[in-house]
Structure 1
């Protein structure tokens, strides 16, 4: 029982011929019979007592074959893949060729991992964005902190201004009829947020708390609700409250309140340093992305579709996880956006193909340059994982094979190798 032959049937696709000895197959068929006979009613026999031959005459000689093959196949297939040394990237397409006096003969067609041809990866030319931190950048960062520490004032006499927070009741009508989803009470709306359709927020400016009034707007032509797209609507508004933020003064006392520093000058210098570091990181990431673009322009590889589909599967799972961490789900996302699973998968197609192609190219560079992590780098990676999940490092080592960790480190080192050998302008 095992692998009989392997042959390439097309580029990156192979066919394995697998055999199950008759003795092994008959033994598994008997086990299946003993498992299922207790559930079978056969005229003339007590439940569970019908002989195997009688059941096969009633239901056909192959009545137990499918389950027997299903039981044997996982172990048989796994050992055959190991013996073949194929790097398989898809589920097998299985075919039962024959079941006879010699046993069972099966064929498994699989896609295999392609080898990338990298024509150039040294001397790639890219530009790195020059990092500049302006006074405006520093002011904007400080103003953001001031806004987070602002006092909220209730405006009783004045009128609504841009950036104010309002509390309103509203109900929308088209052609004199209220429409679904167009009504809310005590809704908090920040003016200038552009969270409502164009023209809505602007018409609240100048109004005072306690006023009731109508505003007229026109829904955009591409509005997601087709029954409202392009239509004029009248909203009846009741303005309950107006709130305005009062920013704290930028002085030494403010600095002491929001940081461990003592003076405005120290605070500005610290903000400048942090912005510089942040922009440097963005510039470095952009540089790497541009380097990968240049690399991929020098890569030839035929990627089997299952590899791209597997990458898309991972992207969908990641997206679902992010939604669930925010209290949502894919079902909710599809409901409110009108998107389908097919459309979501299509949206990930280009990025997934790029990811697969990049990985194949970097793996080739790892091979060509003999890149591998040091023992210290491997240990440090395990330590980071253990620290991130707050578990013992030995548990991490026992659950994550060193080969997988080593491969990830090697790919990162390949990127660094490309960067070190690039012409950066």
Structure 2
């Protein structure tokens, strides 16, 4: 096999691959054995048609597609290794020559990992930021604990207030006609959450249990459903029930209920200590992120759009998983917020670009600084993973090896060591 690489654009080029006729012949033999099993020719049992008769009747060209399916993956993979390119997307394949008795030649148009020209990455300065813990921080954390212990109580004689949970039926109409997705029964909405179209939740305030009212809103001009965008809608709403959070008193009894402490002061002291430890970790993360961002900003990289889109895909999948944990899917979220999938993806675009740029920069710094990861360091990382998952190290290693994940673990350790290098060489280093 022969392979050559010719760059045609900054991050794209053409990989020309020539597979000799002997390999093509072998692939055609395999293709024939596969195809002939399902061929019926009068005078022969199914699957027993001789090769010459098959080719005379159907033509050798009928085997080409299967032969390509056999040859292409291995030939492309070998050519990538031979030319030392790093593709970041699926190739666009064009067949130049496919004839029996001649070499098989194809061209693959490939987007490759971009070249990175490093700028300054040592001696960088971290912008100061306050990570101290004050009384307001402790009170805010105590408030969260209080809310977690709160109880939703049905409001029998009262009106909807901001923060209440309202159980209701609603149906939306435009020009007197109901529209798809505008109806629900026994729906629970937290008033003030911003979950519905602007203006809807505000108009619920003051409603009583059992009351019915019309709520008039206008869909945003950029609403994801074009047939609704910018239109005025009337929602007929029936309020079934109002639930309001009742919070416990913040006293020693509360402290005893939610912790191992006897007094509220002891609980506050514990909260303060934990917040300090949390802030310390946040400060460390802040410093590391600052240095990575600065090093990436100083580097010259022309990002392939496909790399950014792949990262957006990953972020959207992660976001979907988070939504599912809250009991909703992406489609429902899209309806609630008035954003289509493209708009949601657009929200991740900037962060995706930053992440891809940062990863490429760190990868290049690691090469420039000869950052290596030992087998012992990989084992230590596996040990940490095993502890987190409450599994045996050997079991985690077997799983990683089976899924090809050991190299990923090694890469993660290398990236971490590279960031350590940036920290130790920063102006703020102790």
TM-score after normalising by structure 1: 0.81
Instruction: Choose from 376, 396, 417 the match for 1:413.
Output: 417
TM-aligned CA distance change 1:334 to 1:58, over 3 Å: farther
Residue 394 of structure 1 corresponds to 394
Q: What 5-or-longer segments of structure 2 have no aligned partner?
A: none
Q: Tell whether 2:152 aligns with 1:139.
A: no
Q: Deviations over 1:66-122 (max 9, x none)?
A: 312321332333333333333333333333333354433333443433331112001
Matches of 2:3 and 2:171, distance apart in 1: 73
Residue 381 of structure 2 corresponds to 381
Q: Which of 1 and 2 has greater Rg?
A: 1
Residue 231 of structure 1 corresponds to 232
Q: Which moved more, 1:144-153 or 1:198-207?
A: 198-207
TM-score after normalising by structure 2: 0.80
Equivalences for 1:115-264 in 2 at 5 Å?
115-157=115-157, 161-168=161-168, 186-196=186-196, 209=209, 212=211, 214=213, 217-219=216-218, 221-222=220-221, 224=223, 227=228, 229=230, 231=232, 233=234, 235=236, 237=238, 240-264=240-264
Q: Deviations over 1:223-256 (max 9, x none)?
A: 8465584637475645x55544433222212111
Matches of 1:348 and 1:283, distance apart in 2: 24
Matches of 1:176 and 1:104, distance apart in 2: 66
Q: Which moved more, 1:225-234 or 1:63-72?
A: 225-234
Q: What 5-or-longer segments of structure 1 have no aligned partner?
A: none
Q: Which moved more, 1:394-403 or 1:123-132?
A: 394-403
Q: Which moved more, 1:172-181 or 1:140-149?
A: 172-181
TM-aligned CA distance change 1:283 to 1:193, over 3 Å: same
Q: How many residues align?
A: 421
Matches of 1:7 and 1:232, distance apart in 2: 59
Matches of 1:175 and 1:67, distance apart in 2: 58
Residue 40 of structure 1 corresponds to 39
Residue 303 of structure 2 corresponds to 303
Residue 318 of structure 1 corresponds to 318
Residue 277 of structure 2 corresponds to 277
Tell me if the contact between 1:198 and 1:217 (Cα under 8 Å) persists in the aligned partners: no
Residue 4 of structure 2 corresponds to 6
CA RMSD of aligned residues (A): 3.8
Matches of 1:339 and 1:205, distance apart in 2: 25
